[in-house]
Amino acid sequence: MSTLAAPWSVGRQVTPRDSGPLLPPPVSGSGWGLPGAYVWDATTARHIPAVGRAIQLYGGMTKQMPLDAYKGGQAVSPRPRLLESPDPNVIWPRSRYIQCSVEDYLLSGNTVSLVTARGADGWPLAVMYLPITWVYITWMAGDPQNVSYTYYGQVLPTEDVIHIARGVDRFYPVRGVGVVEEYLSSLDRAAMEEEYERSALAGGAVPSVAVIAPQASIPQDVADDAKAAWLAKFAGPTREPVILPAGTQVQPLAWSPSDTQLTEARKMTLTDVANMFNLDSYWLGAAVQGMTYKTAAPQYQQILRTSLEPVLADFEQVWSDAWFPRGTQVRFDRNKLLAEDLPTTAQALQLLTSAGIVTGEMAWQMLLGVPLPSIEYQKPEPPPAPAAPPAAEPDETAGQSGGANQ
């Protein structure tokens, strides 16, 4: 078990970003490109609105899903305290711990936690989130098992480090590769577009109108007086008639064609950022045809299968191996994300109950949001067989009339 002190107190005792003789791998040597003028790391990438939206989607949806432990296909009850609050510190609730871990995973390609307490059986009781910006991962070349983790200048015990990597850096195979490093030049271009638009609005404003006098030249003082008179008459929400000399031209002005094209380019940048984060572009605000009449449930199901599941798989696999004995699996409860509105859910449960697939008690637990593996299956009783129609009684009147005829 690690005896590392609180991260902020450690930061005050040592030189910031000091890793001693251990240095982080240079980005330029990893084959992913050089830092740009506007985006050079995960922090500067957050300045792009589309990037902020993407990581909020991943982190926000992930932290909404409760964590459960399953053994033999059944949920462990009661839920282990480690899954309810991995870090017992009150300022690090489960939601914040998960969101920050997912953000580091996406932007930097790595997220690292440290075991701070273990039980009598040796398994973790508490873990602490470590900002990946201050964690240096080093290894002995040719020996992937010889990995060292340095945090604020302090070498961490490897057995207490929980490291989740996004893919692998082929030049430095003990660490993952984040979205920022993978698409550094494209993100820098997106930030450059925003900076150009900001500078154009701040220092390159276009006048609203141009008034061309019929004279070939006019004195500057006359032009200034005419401008002041125009502003005095038409400033504000007024629409009054104007009388101008014959031959005067009034031409409204707008953005230049190049600035208009830049606006369209920024719209296309939304699609580029969505592709970087493996998202459909409409999640980032890009205009997509045919989305008006789609309900929310299929969209959440699609983002879960195509975008979230690959991320959840990495977290579930590593946490299962690091937090619990073999045979116990950690899983996020997807039902919280896929929950339909109440009328749709009630209609589906009614169909399942009437078809004899689930009982009324099981349907009630599903309505309450209990995970399906935690619901004890009860075989519904078959519906009673329909009663047989009563046998027809002989018609005595018909028999008597027959005898009389004889």
Check whether residue 243 and residue 374 sit in a common domain: no
Q: Count the alpha carbons within 13 Å of 257 in the hemisphere toward its beta carbon.
A: 0
CB atoms within 10 A of CB 391: 5
Name the residue among 246, 254, 158, 167 with its Cα closest to residue 210: 254
Check whether residue 284 and residue 191 sit in a common domain: yes
Check whether residue 333 and residue 237 sit in a common domain: no
Percent of the chain with pLDDT over 90: 38
Mention every residue, 6+ apart, whose C-beta is less than 8 A from residue 46.
52, 55, 107
pLDDT at 396: 60
pLDDT above 60 for 46? yes
pLDDT at 256: 61
* Residue 177 burial class via C-beta count within 10 angstroms: exposed 0-12, middle 13-18, buried 19 and up: buried
Check whether residue 347 and residue 335 sit in a common domain: no
What is the average pLDDT across 30-38? 62
The reply to whether 397 falls in a domain is no
Check whether residue 178 and residue 305 sit in a common domain: yes
DSSP sequence for 66-94? PEEEEETTEE-SSPPHHHH-SS-STTS-H
Q: What is the pTM of this model?
A: 0.72
> Which residue, of 187, 218, 253, is where some domain finishes?
253
H helix intervals, 166-307: 179-182, 184-203, 220-234, 257-276, 296-303
Q: Confidence band (pLDDT; 50, 70, 90) for 254?
A: low
Check whether residue 143 and residue 35 sit in a common domain: yes
The reply to whether 125 falls in a domain is yes
Q: Confidence band (pLDDT; 50, 70, 90) for 28?
A: very low
Check whether residue 184 and residue 52 sit in a common domain: yes
> Which residue, of 339, 367, 399, is where some domain finishes?
339
The reply to whether 398 falls in a domain is no
Tens-place pLDDT, residues 79-125: 999 999 999 998 999 999 999 999 999 999 999 999 999 999 999 99
pLDDT at 3: 54
- The 3-state DSSP class for residue 147 equals strand
The reply to whether 406 falls in a domain is no
Check whether residue 140 and residue 17 sit in a common domain: yes
Q: Confidence band (pLDDT; 50, 70, 90) for 246?
A: confident
Check whether residue 230 and residue 297 sit in a common domain: no
pLDDT at 5: 46
* Residue 148 burial class via C-beta count within 10 angstroms: exposed 0-12, middle 13-18, buried 19 and up: middle
Contact 345, 96 (CB under 8 A): no
pLDDT at 274: 94
What is the average pLDDT across 204-221? 78
Number of structural domains (the chain) is: 3
CA 352 to chain centre: 33
Check whether residue 189 and residue 335 sit in a common domain: yes
Check whether residue 232 and residue 349 sit in a common domain: no
The reply to whether 274 falls in a domain is yes
pLDDT at 352: 79
Check whether residue 173 and residue 187 sit in a common domain: yes
The vertex-76 CA angle with 70 and 78, nearest 5°, equals 150
CA pair distance 124, 117, nearest whole angstrom = 6
The reply to whether 405 falls in a domain is no
Check residues 46 and 24 and name the one with the higher pLDDT: 46
The reply to whether 391 falls in a domain is no
Tens-place pLDDT, residues 316-364: 999 999 999 999 999 998 887 777 667 777 777 788 788 777 787 777 7
Tens-place pLDDT, residues 379-397: 666 666 666 677 666 666 5
> Which residue, of 314, 339, 364, is where some domain finishes?
339
Q: Count the alpha carbons within 13 Å of 183 in the hemisphere toward its beta carbon.
A: 18
Selection from 48-57, 198-207, 216-225, 231-240 with the highest mean pLDDT: 48-57
Q: Confidence band (pLDDT; 50, 70, 90) for 13?
A: very low
- Per the structure, the complete domain to which residue 178 belongs is given by 1-205+256-339
